[in-house]
Structure 1
Amino acid sequence: MALDVFDVPKLAEEYAGKSPQQILKLALDQYDDLWLSFSGADDIVVLDMAWKINPQIKVFTLDTGRLHPETYQFLEKVRKHYGIQLEILSPDQQALEAYVKEKGLFDFYESGHGECCGVRKIAPLRRKLAGVDAWITGQRKDQSPGTRSHVPVIEVDGGFSGPGRELIKFNPLANYTSEDVWNYIRMLEIPYNSLHERGFVSIGCEPCTRPILPNQHEREGRWWWEEATQKECGLHAGNLIAKG
């Protein structure tokens, strides 16, 4: 059984005050072809929650080819810790080779990160989501108050739905804060990326991520050379733009 798209706004309102586990239970009950997107950062919490409800949860991650060594090590640690198959999505080889040949390896410092993210992240994700019914993310409202402050717990994915096909997106941690996430990690002693111990909070590709200073917002460590309003890679931008 799947959700009627017309019921999604009502369900989002109904579940806005419910726990992440209740939102995940709804998702898992409604969809067989449901995938969890895991980035190797603090969304380990949503993976842990989902796995405890259904150890057969299907999980994918994006390997851009530019991740930190610590992130690759963490992905393998997670795979073994939970005993799950972790589907690795990679960029199209020809598209990536053409981009690098034309623009080089560090064009994003001059031209912005949009094109690089498009090749390394958005295209592989679009390819994956074209064949699924629903997906789960770890995004939170407090990750980027300027662009994610209105993230609902359930939504029709405006960025990756297609003609005659509505993709449903679950954001069970939407109302969690960074403090909530780290209280969960510490209390249950689940794995986390060792980069967090070195001041990295929001972790992406190695060239585009750096530690933050005290009292800086976590997204200030991402694409720091760009305006604050540009600190999205495009994975969720279609939905964020749609909400204004």
Structure 2
Amino acid sequence: MTEISSKLVGRLNEDFAAADLAGRLRLLRQAAEGRVVFTTSLGIEDQAITHAIGVEKLDIEIVTLDTGRLFPETYDVWARTEQKYGLRIGAFYPDATMLQELISRQGINGFYESLEARKACCETRKVEPLARALKGAQIWIAGLRADQSAHRANARFVEFDQTRGLIKASPLLDFSREDVVDFCTRNDVPANALHEQGFVSIGCAPCTRAIQPGEPERAGRWWWEDEAKKECGLHIGADGKIRRAKELA
């Protein structure tokens, strides 16, 4: 991390503390001369960020990773969101050759067989497309919240992602689930219909289920795996740990 990046990360973390969601996004846009990219999964956290970008008309690219295994309800909220805010959500798809090779090796649902097989699926359908989506970006915005999981509890608002060579920001990091729901309700933000059916964290259809009362938010993601291993690779480093500024400096 360069000295300039280190100072910018420090300043943004300080400024974020006193800013609301829209203010945090404006700070990020002002901090970069080049591309600022927000990756949305079209879940409720990301919908709150999309609302702020759309209402404020910020020059922030909104993109999503269409894995080819999304729920119909996710495509529905995608279309409604574009219509409401008059914007286009850019789509990044798996590389066709990589996807064909993956399915040839493990079958259409081979990711259930082992952790390695599931990670290979995530690598093909999500991680590699993300690399293309972020190519040339200076700042990456994500919808992480600190209380979503133990993996994310020690993250900071703004960090330097050494692997990708850019600044990563989580403007909802200090929001609770209730904060996000309240924000979206007050602002009539389009929501995925699955949220009303107990789906809290929504990803690919074969890998997501509704959670039961008392279960943690991400219990419905890759539910057949050990709780400590439930990350797809978008937000973790090569060592399998969540990327944090103190580990990347």
Q: TM-score, normalised by structure 1?
A: 0.91
What letter matches 2:31 in structure 1? Q
> Which residue matches 2:225?
226
The DSSP-based 3-state class of the residue aligned with 2:151 is: coil
The DSSP-based 3-state class of the residue aligned with 1:138 is: coil
Cα pair 1:8 1:156 within 8 Å, conserved: no
> Which residue matches 2:77?
74
**Shift in alpha-carbon separation, 1:122–1:224, aligned structure 2, 3 A:** same
Q: Determine if the alignment matches structure 1 residue 63 to structure 2 residue 62.
A: no
> Which residue matches 2:152?
148
The 2-side partners of 1:155 and 1:176 are apart by: 17
The 1-side partners of 2:226 and 2:163 are apart by: 22
> Which residue matches 1:5?
5
Percentage of pairs with the same residue? 37
Q: What 5-or-longer segments of structure 2 have no aligned partner?
A: none
The DSSP-based 3-state class of the residue aligned with 2:234 is: coil
Q: Determine if the alignment matches structure 1 residue 98 to structure 2 residue 101.
A: yes
Cα pair 1:159 1:237 within 8 Å, conserved: no
The 2-side partners of 1:39 and 1:159 are apart by: 22
> Which residue matches 2:50?
47
> Which residue matches 2:192?
193
Q: Determine if the alignment matches structure 1 residue 21 to structure 2 residue 26.
A: no
Deviation at 1:175, TM superposition (A): 0.6
> Which residue matches 1:164?
none
Cα pair 1:40 1:193 within 8 Å, conserved: yes
> Which residue matches 1:127?
132
Equivalent of residue 162 in structure 2, options 158, 162, 166? 158
The DSSP-based 3-state class of the residue aligned with 1:4 is: helix
Deviation at 1:106, TM superposition (A): 1.3
Larger deviation, residues 232-241 vs 79-88: 232-241
> Which residue matches 2:142?
137
> Which residue matches 1:168?
167
Aligned pair count? 236
Deviation at 1:54, TM superposition (A): 2.3
Equivalent of residue 88 in structure 1, options 91, 94, 103? 91
Q: TM-score, normalised by structure 2?
A: 0.89
The 1-side partners of 2:114 and 2:90 are apart by: 31
The DSSP-based 3-state class of the residue aligned with 2:242 is: helix
The 1-side partners of 2:151 and 2:78 are apart by: 27
Shift >3 Å, 4+ stretches: 241-244
Deviation at 1:140, TM superposition (A): 0.7
Instruction: Provide the alpha-carbon RMSD of the alignment.
Output: 1.7
